Structure 1
Amino acid sequence: MERLTEELSACSEEFARWWQAHHLATSAAADAPSTTPGRGLTFDYMKLAALDTPGVKLFVCMPGDERTRRSLPLLRGE
């Protein structure tokens, strides 16, 4: 979670202000590594569930290693 909030804060001044103020909704979270079959890419993901809105979930995926991080631009066609 710390890595995610650091990256979001670096990319968005608005998020950084919200995070610093801690005016964010509470959520339940779980994280786990995931590997893409046949591609060898590894992602860390976090599943966030809005506690006040049953059934609403947000999946956040981030590169789990340097090889995956370097491969992302190729997957986007860059």
Structure 2
Amino acid sequence: MTVHRYRDVLIEVTILSDAERGGWLVEFWDLSPSGSGELLHIQKLPTGELLLDLLGEKLNVDLVAWAIGIARTELQGY
């Protein structure tokens, strides 16, 4: 688990084993008191492909691009 700052919001990033699909799952959580909690998932399949799940949220494109960059960095070596 790591914590990053996106604009003025603390975002917790957690990497979990995705045993169901054999890859890895990166969760992003908004830790701010008025935040929405769980924001999105980025899944890394065994093929190396990344899949994005916005969990039904409407998110800013810049936040999503930032999250993909963070996920790629966090998943190096997995």
Report which of the two structures shows the higher radius of gyration computed on alpha carbons.
1
TM-score (normalizing by structure 1): 0.38
Which structure has the highest strand share of the two?
2
TM-score (normalizing by structure 2): 0.38
Which structure has the highest helix share of the two?
1
